[in-house]
Amino acid sequence: AKKMATPETAFDLLEDLRVKSMSYASKELEDLKEYAKANGGPDDLKHWDMPFWAERLREAQYSFTEEDLRPYLPLPAVLDGLFSLLNKLFDIEVKPTTQNLEKPHPDVQIFDVFRDGAVIAHFYLDPYARPAEKRGGAWMDEVFARSSLFGSEPGTCRLPVAHMVCNQTPPVDGKPSLMTFREVETLFHEAGHAFQHMLTKVDCGLCSGIRNVEWDAVELPSQFMENWCYHRATLMSFAKHYETGEPLPDDLFDKIVAARTFRAGSMMMRQLHFATVDLSLHSAAHFDPESGDASKIFELEQKVAEKTCVVMPLPEDRFLCGFAHIFAGGYSAGYFSYKWAEVLSADAFGAFEEAGLEDDEAVKSTGRLFADTVMGLGGSLPPMEVFTKFRGREPTTDALLRHSGLVAASA
C-alpha cells in the first residue's frame, strides 16, 4: 500500500518517540514492581506476572468499570452529541432521512447530511450486534463515492454514500442501547472515516473521500474524532443518565481521562518495538532475507529489543511467528502507520487546543479549515501537502506525547 512516510522518516519518527518515552516506561516498570511487592506479589516480576499486576494496579488507581458508565451513554443521546459536534466543527446538519429507502435490516438507520440547506451525502448506520449474521468489530466503508461521471444530470455529481457498522448491545426491555465508553470512542472513530468520505469536495471518483488516501494517513480523521470523547464539554453534553437525566459525575470523567494515560510509556514502547522490528526486517540495511539463516530474524528482534524494551523478551520468544499484521494482514513495512497516524491526529487536535477548546468561534473557524483540507481533499493531493494546508507546517510528535502524559519524560 502507498505510504505517506519514507523509510527514513518512519525510522526517524520511531526513534524520536523511543527517546522521549523510554524513561517513562522504565519508571512504570519500577512502579509496577513496587505495587506488586507491597500487595503480596513476587519480588521479581516475570513476563507472565505483569499483565495480572498491571490490571490490579489499574483497578486500584481508577476503580471504575465500563459497566459503571453504560447508564450515562444511551445511543440516542450519544448520536445527538456526535451530530451536534459535527455541526459545530464542519457546519453540517445530520438528519434522519425522509426518503422511503429500503433497509438491509430493521435496525439500520439512514441519515442525510446537509450543508447550507442542501443534501451533500447519505449514510447508513447499523449499530447493534447480530451474532448470527454479522461479524464482530466495527467498520466503515463506502457505498458510493462522489463522482462527476455519475451525476444524474450534466454538471452534477453523484453524492457520496457511506455505511458505518458497530456491534453494541441492542435495546432491551424498553431500555435504549446503553454503550460502553469504548463503544462511544469506536462510534466517533468510524464517524471520522465516514465523514471524510462524505465531506469530500473532490469530484473525481478515483480520489474523492477515502479513496486514494495513503495507508499511514487514512486514520487521521478517525483518531482525531476520538479526542473529542475526552473533551469535558463535548462528553458532558450527552453523557446523562438514561433514567434520571443526571450528568456523568465529575469524578468519573476525571477517572476516564486519567485512565487514558495509564502505563502510556509501556504501551508506546510496545508499539515502537513492533514497528521497528517490522521496518528492520523489510530494510536491506538491517536484514538480508537471502542469508538463508532463519536464526538471524530472531537475532534482529533481540537487537531491536535492546533499545525498545524495558524487559527483554525471553530467548525462547517466537512472537514473530504469529505476527500476522506484517505477514498476512497488509502491514508489511507499514506497522509504523499506527503511530504515524496517531502523530497526525494528535497534532491536528492540537490546532484546536491552541485555538482554545472553550472558544466556540475559534473551534468553528479551525473546524471549517479542517473540513476544507483534511476532510475535503481526500486523496486528491499528497497527504503531507493536505496536512500542511491545515496546520501550516509538517507534523511533530509534541501533541501525541502531551496527550499520552509523556511530556515530563521528554523534557
Interval 120-166: pLDDT, tens: 999 999 999 999 999 999 999 999 999 999 998 898 999 999 999 99
Looking at per-residue pLDDT, the higher value among 374 and 409 belongs to 374
Distances (CA, A) of 104 to 108, 171, 232, 387: 7, 19, 36, 37
Lowest-confidence range among 40-54, 218-232, 293-307? 293-307
**Residues belonging to the active site:** 190
d(C-alpha 360, C-alpha 366), whole Å? 10
Lowest-confidence range among 1-5, 110-114, 168-172? 1-5
For 363-373, how does the pLDDT look when each residue is reduced to its tens digit (9 = 90+)?
999 999 999 99
Q: 408 Cβ partners below 8 Å, 6+ apart?
A: 24
Grid coordinates representing 204? 473525481
Maximum distance among all Cα pairs of the chain, rounded to whole angstroms: 75
Whether the per-residue pLDDT at 34 is higher than 70: the answer is yes
Whether the per-residue pLDDT at 243 is higher than 70: the answer is yes
Mean pLDDT over 82-86 rounds to 98
Q: Provide the percentage of residues in the chain whose pLDDT is more than 90.
A: 84
d(C-alpha 4, C-alpha 10), whole Å? 9
Q: Provide the percentage of residues in the chain whose pLDDT is more than 70.
A: 99
Sort strands 139-144 and 161-168 into parallel, antiparallel or unpaired. Answer: antiparallel
Read off the amino acid at residue 79.
Answer: L
Mean pLDDT over 53-71 rounds to 92
Confidence band, pLDDT 50/70/90 cuts, at residue 409: very low
Mean pLDDT over 356-377 rounds to 97
* Reported pTM: 0.91
d(C-alpha 111, C-alpha 93), whole Å? 10
Q: Residue 81's pLDDT is what? A: 98
CB of 223 closer than 8 Å to CB of 191: no
Whether the per-residue pLDDT at 340 is higher than 50: the answer is yes
- The secondary structure of the chain in percent helix, strand, coil, rounded to multiples of 5, reads 55, 10, 35
Beta strands, E only, 73-214: 93-96, 109-115, 118-128, 139-144, 161-168
For 247-289, how does the pLDDT look when each residue is reduced to its tens digit (9 = 90+)?
999 999 999 999 999 999 999 999 999 999 999 999 888 888 8
Mean pLDDT over 86-93 rounds to 98
- What's the gap between Cα 372 and its chain centre? 21
Mean pLDDT over 205-232 rounds to 95
Grid coordinates representing 37? 511487592
Whether the per-residue pLDDT at 42 is higher than 50: the answer is yes
Mark 339-352 as b/e (b = at least 16 C-beta within 10 Å). bbbbbbbbbbbbbb
CB of 335 closer than 8 Å to CB of 299: no
CB of 120 closer than 8 Å to CB of 198: yes
